[in-house]
Chain A
């Protein structure tokens, strides 16, 4: 804003980033949103971030030339909520309709109002997952016809987007499969920032494995618990779960941990801020990413930020051998890749790393170097900036 009036009067933005995600939050998606939106707003001299709020989060924030608007209507049904959100997004894009050059969206509910007819802005659709695939896992009772409609919406929005940004080649393939031409798909991998070694958490056990992330079934926590049961003979070894979701979501996993007799050796932390999670990662023996081999992870792909952040923290990773994980780390170099859904193999890989600490530490160092060389946020953001440049060239 040239005259400074924008600080107090209505702002007119050239860029908007829209996400059907809570922001900020302790989930990996929030880190990703912060990086991508910050790049967008840096390129366009500010902008509007429209996201989900609730709790203590204010409905509106203004920071210089940036605005944050948060949707916080309590609509329990997901489709009703998505519909209300799309309407809210439309209303929040309307004041910027004449000035908007780029609208960056993360999901179909955000995309639908952005790809409307009569727009002059370009739409960048960032696909981290496909609700039509993802929702068959989160909502097992959804009728195939209902999921089919969600797929139609996805196709509609993808077709009308000017660029599709994907964090992994596997997701790029899935998007191609939905009919998006090659030239419109851009790979912008997730990244991590390599920083100094954080201080050891005061309540950290002597020796522990760490799991970071959410607790949906496809994350493979059950596989990890069963693997951990096989490591009962390792003296003093504990498992720390840094869950990005509220405690009540842990019930099923905790119940399983009790049933198989590992609950006493598991420490739980919930919704820790990002820098505290980084400290837990940095001082772990091994970070485990036991993603299951389900369609969600195989066909749609995933881009596990925890694998990247573990490497950035210098900790060796034991992860499921999935195509999306192979894009990020190499077996035997940055840790171990093991077949998905096999607790015995997972336990064996962890055991070997614990028994050869020098080699494990070397893998951690190589992982850190690998992130510094090729998977920093700075690199990802430069790629994203290139997508914006290409789209708005000649304006």
Chain B
């Protein structure tokens, strides 16, 4: 029998693992009775809908949201100024570097936070 693959936990993440009763119609993952919402939607897809991103696993999602929010951002938080004050030259210094440039080596497993203690 399929197991529910919903991610659980806050600081330590796990998989639910209960027996699945349905498949999420949006992303297809097996969900248990606890985690199946209306229409068997999984919590991840249900939350995504709350933020108007229909399917978090759709490859077009990132681009879609970027186009929409990146450009709309200045009205959204009244910042017509700050980010636009950064020209290409300013930004150029913040491209990812090689292994020697600490903090500049960026990949999907990297932390982007500033302070590590």
A window 120-152: CB within 8 A of B: 128-129, 131, 134-135, 137-143, 145-146, 149, 152
Contact B83 A28 (CB under 8 A): no
Give the docked Cα–Cα distance between A129 and B103 (Å).
15
Partner of B10, one of A20, A68, A88, A306: A68
B113/A79 in contact, CB under 8 A = no
Q: Please give, as numbers and ranges, the residues of chain A lying within 8 Å of B83 by CB-CB distance.
A: 79, 82-83, 86
Residue of A nearest to B100 (CB): A252
- Which residues on the B side are within 8 Å of A214 (C-beta)? 116
A190 CB within 8 Å of chain B: yes
Q: Which stretch (A4-12, A200-208, A356-364) binds chain B?
A: A4-12
Q: Is there a chain B Cβ closer than 8 Å to A52's Cβ?
A: yes
Assess A245 versus B43: contact at CB under 8 Å? Given A76-B96, A79-B90. no
A19 in the interface (beta carbon within 8 A): yes
Shortest CB distance A274–B (Å): 8
Q: Which of A55-63, A222-230, A341-349 is the contact stretch?
A: A55-63
Judge whether A370 is part of the interface by a CB distance below 8 angstroms.
Answer: no
Pick the contact of A78: B62, B94, B100 (CB < 8 A). Answer: B94
Q: Give Cα A370 to B22, complex, Å.
A: 52
Specify the chain B residue showing the minimal Cβ separation from A70: B56
A383: CB under 8 A from chain B?
no
**Total number of residue pairs linking A and B with CB closer than 8 Å:** 227
- Which residue of chain A has the shortest Cβ distance to B7 in the bound complex? A58
A382 interfacial by beta-carbon distance below 8 Å:
no
A117 to B72 CA separation, bound complex (whole angstroms): 16
* A interface secondary structure, majority: mixed
- Minimum C-beta distance from B20 to chain A (A): 17
Q: Per-position contact with A for B70-81: 1 when CB-CB < 8 Å, else 0?
A: 101100111100
Binds B, one of A89-97, A178-186, A232-240: A89-97
* Contact B108–A87 (Cβ < 8 Å): no
A31 vs B117: C-alpha distance when bound (angstroms)? 10
Docked Cα-Cα span, A116 to B103, in Å, equals 29
Q: Write out the residue numbers on chain A whose beta carbons fall within 8 Å of the beta carbon of B8.
A: 61, 63
Judged by a CB distance under 8 angstroms, whether A30 is at the interface is yes
Instruction: Report the bound CA distance from A7 to B94 in whole Å.
Output: 40
Asked whether A134 and B70 contact (CB < 8 A) given A112-B79, A143-B89, the answer is no
Check A69/B70 contact, CB under 8 A, given A25-B111, A63-B8, A190-B117: no
Interface residues, chain B, CB within 8 Å of chain A? 7-13, 37-38, 41, 43-53, 56, 62, 65-66, 68-70, 72-73, 76-79, 82-83, 85-86, 89-91, 93-96, 99-117
Residues of chain A whose beta carbon lies under 8 Å from any beta carbon of chain B: 7-11, 19-22, 24-25, 27-32, 34, 38, 52, 54-55, 57-63, 66-69, 72-74, 76-84, 86-88, 90-92, 94-95, 106-107, 112-113, 116-117, 128-129, 131, 134-135, 137-143, 145-146, 149, 152-153, 156, 190, 213-217, 244-246, 248-249, 251-252, 273, 302-306
